[in-house]
Structure 1
């Protein structure tokens, strides 16, 4: 009888996605802690490490965080000397972010937390299964985002 199965066997995929997210975030935090970086700070450095400046407004949209949250993250990176925040020459009200030489040096010294997470989480998993999982999650994410846009949810 289905009702006799433990409750966790009825977990919807979203519950497992959340558990994976929390577990991977905890591992990422542990990897970055010795470098005095948080997850969002890492993502900002990741985006800036290519050398091209990125608008702060762009990062706010990409990370889907509040402006105030990203402002605090950027302020911490500026205080640490890892990022410069300069007015956008095309729109003085906007800020452009640049990685500093110290930020680039740190970036190049950092272990890759995303590679570690993938290695630990998916070691021994058939690549075809990973491809299927990526496709399913990508499609599900797109549908949820589209639904939210269409229904104002």
Structure 2
């Protein structure tokens, strides 16, 4: 995956953000944290990079100025049109597993990672 994206100057998680914005449309940044199951700080760094590259723009929510709506810029739409379709990866890796199995696996791996991180900090 990374090899396919490297010529375009983006990483896998950046691709997923662009995919969400291109396929679904403008999305609240907090929603992407939930969808991608990554830390808020990690997503903030990724979004800042995409904004700096001119691919994504952040717009403050009209009701709560602290919340940010993300959307593709014209440059982001052009790049999306050039990127390889990597949508098959999810089906190839996880096809045939129930949502319950996937949720359990994600939960176990998340807790295991948190435990290891806590141990390394101690």
After superposition, the C-alpha distances for 1:58-80 in whole angstroms (9 at most, x for unaligned) are 00111111111000000000000
Residues 51, 98 of structure 1: 8 Å contact kept:
no
Task: Look up the match of 2:28.
Answer: 55
Q: Gaps spanning 5+ residues in structure 2: where? A: 109-122
3-state SS of paired residue (1:43):
helix
Q: Which has the larger radius of gyration?
A: 1
| Cα separation, 2, equivalents of 1:32 and 1:146 | 28
After superposition, the C-alpha distances for 1:60-108 in whole angstroms (9 at most, x for unaligned) are 1111111110000000000000000110112111000010000000001
Q: How does 1:68-83 map to 2 (within 5 A)?
A: 68-83=41-56
Q: Gaps spanning 5+ residues in structure 1: where? A: 1-27, 123-132, 148-153
- Are residues 137 and 69 of structure 1, via their aligned partners in 2, closer, same or farther at CA, if it must alter by over 3 Å? same
- Equivalent residue in structure 2 for 1:39, among 12, 22, 29: 12
Give the TM-score of the pair, scaled to structure 2: 0.76
Which consecutive aligned stretches of 4+ in structure 1 deviate over 2 angstroms post-superposition?
Answer: 133-139, 142-147
Structure of greater relative contact order (alpha carbons < 8 Å, 6+ residues apart): 2
Report the count of equivalent residues: 109
Q: CA deviation at 1:142?
A: 3.5
| Cα separation, 1, equivalents of 2:4 and 2:98 | 25
Tell me if 1:100 matches 2:73: yes
* RMSD of Structure 2 on Structure 1 (CA): 2.7
